[in-house]
């Protein structure tokens, strides 16, 4: 790894009519890292934490951590931190209490996909299917559903409670051979954890039927409201969390990545911009009580809009937010070319 100063941004002399004036341009530190395939990831450092730096990678064209941990390190890490440990009953109860609210967004995704797919095309694969809430909504709408979920407890829950077909595997080019082709592939809060998002999208491309649809959701990081809120909180860059979060997408960089991997983006949306609460004086960073209160407030807003027949208004509002790169989590829909 090398650290260097960008030559194009070194200080320069500029002549004015009134005489000579020295203008020191902003000196931006860059870092680089060569991965196992020999690709060089280089870019301006946006943040540093836990012996890692987030760079605006010029090669990948999205923000990610360097050094990039390899896949086997991550598999061991998740096995020890999460998958090897039993989830508490509290965890399942909390998740269950939010299924109904989650269904608002799951139904929106199926509506978007069903609008453009042939009505006979109804097989969906959910990568990182968790407790199975997204697939259960699909099942109720008549889809044939398959999930991939490496957590034994979550996979067991989905089988027992929703009678879903779940494989307990990590998706890779080897394990992908066991999976059939689908009309729709969904993946929420997975891509930010991966050492190689290109590989994941290439596998998804191969697992889709011709003209199949992919929907990728992930946090919307380094977004404009987050940057303002960063001035108001003590825990700077709170969203930077390696080695769990390795990639930090915006709506534009995620759309660009999908285009580079053989997809045509046709729909983008986002979720409520939670950072607004910090700007309104409710600093929830590191405060679980305030975090819980503001989370409930956004749920109440979204449920009120649904219950008063304004779900379409909410959808249009959140799509508009995504066009401004706002919203806490983004979702990009794209069609296999």
Name the residues that contact Zn ion, by CB under 5 A. Answer: 41, 57, 59-60
Please state the closest distance from residue 184 (CB atom) to Zn ion, in A.
28
* Nearer to Zn ion (CB atom), residue 57 or residue 254: 57
Please state the closest distance from residue 66 (CB atom) to Zn ion, in A.
8
Among 127, 273, 148, CA closest to 200? 127
Tokens for 256, please give them: 């660009």
DSSP assignment string, 99-168: HHHHHHHHHHHHHHHHHHS-TT--EEEEET-TTSHHHHHHHHTT-EEEEE---HHHHHHHHHHH--EEE-
Neighbours of 265 (CB within 10 A): 17
CA dist., res. 148 & res. 203, Å (int)? 13
CA dist., res. 55 & res. 45, Å (int)? 4
Among 179, 45, 50, CA closest to 125? 179
Reported as half-sphere exposure (CB side, CA atoms, 13 A), residue 22 has a value of 3
Please state the closest distance from residue 221 (CB atom) to Zn ion, in A.
15
Please state the closest distance from residue 329 (CB atom) to Zn ion, in A.
22
CA dist., res. 170 & res. 162, Å (int)? 21
* Nearer to Zn ion (CB atom), residue 59 or residue 99: 59
Q: What are the backbone angles phi and psi of residue 24, rounded to the nearest 5°?
A: -90, 115
Please state the closest distance from residue 60 (CB atom) to Zn ion, in A.
3
CA dist., res. 47 & res. 54, Å (int)? 5
* Nearer to Zn ion (CB atom), residue 57 or residue 131: 57
* Nearer to Zn ion (CB atom), residue 54 or residue 229: 54
Please state the closest distance from residue 69 (CB atom) to Zn ion, in A.
13
* Nearer to Zn ion (CB atom), residue 60 or residue 74: 60
* Nearer to Zn ion (CB atom), residue 41 or residue 245: 41
Please state the closest distance from residue 150 (CB atom) to Zn ion, in A.
25
Please state the closest distance from residue 59 (CB atom) to Zn ion, in A.
5
* Nearer to Zn ion (CB atom), residue 65 or residue 155: 65
CA dist., res. 289 & res. 211, Å (int)? 45
CA dist., res. 39 & res. 199, Å (int)? 14
Neighbours of 239 (CB within 10 A): 21
Please state the closest distance from residue 256 (CB atom) to Zn ion, in A.
13
Q: What are the backbone angles phi and psi of residue 144, rounded to the nearest 5°?
A: -85, 125
* Nearer to Zn ion (CB atom), residue 33 or residue 110: 33
* Nearer to Zn ion (CB atom), residue 57 or residue 133: 57
Three-state DSSP state, 178: helix
């Amino acid at each position: 790894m090398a650290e260097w100063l960008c030559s194009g941004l070194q200080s320069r002399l500029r002549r004015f009519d009134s005489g000579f004036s020295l203008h020191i341009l902003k000196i931006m530190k860059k870092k680089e890292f060569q991965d196992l395939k020999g690709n060089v990831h280089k870019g301006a450092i946006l943040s540093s934490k836990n012996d890692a730096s987030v760079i605006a990678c010029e090669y990948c064209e999205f923000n990610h951590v360097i050094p990039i941990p390899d896949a086997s390190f991550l598999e061991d890490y998740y096995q020890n931190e999460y998958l090897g440990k039993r989830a508490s009953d509290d965890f399942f109860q909390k998740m269950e209490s939010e299924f109904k609210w989650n269904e608002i967004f799951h139904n929106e995704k199926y509506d978007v996909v069903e609008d453009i797919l042939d009505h006979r095309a109804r097989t969906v694969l959910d990568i990182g299917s968790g407790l199975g809430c997204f697939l259960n909504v699909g099942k109720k709408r008549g889809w044939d559903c398959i999930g991939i979920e490496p957590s034994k407890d979550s996979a067991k829950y989905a089988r027992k409670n929703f009678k879903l077909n779940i494989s307990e595997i990590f998706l890779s080019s080897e394990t992908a051979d066991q999976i059939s082709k689908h009309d729709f592939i969904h993946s929420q809060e997975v891509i930010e954890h991966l050492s190689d998002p290109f590989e994941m999208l290439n596998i998804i491309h191969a697992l889709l039927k011709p003209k199949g649809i992919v929907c990728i959701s992930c946090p919307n990081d380094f977004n404009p409201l987050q940057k303002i809120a960063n001035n108001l909180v003590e825990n700077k860059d709170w969203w930077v969390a390696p080695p769990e979060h390795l990639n930090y997408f915006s709506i534009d960089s995620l759309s660009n990545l999908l285009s580079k991997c053989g997809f045509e983006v046709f729909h983008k949306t986002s979720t409520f911009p939670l950072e607004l609460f910090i700007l309104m004086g409710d600093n929830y960073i590191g405060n679980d009580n305030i975090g819980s209160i503001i989370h409930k407030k956004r749920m109440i807003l979204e449920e009120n809009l649904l219950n008063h027949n304004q779900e379409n208004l909410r959808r249009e509002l959140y799509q508009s937010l995504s066009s401004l790169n706002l919203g806490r989590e983004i979702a990009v829909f794209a069609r296999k070319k």
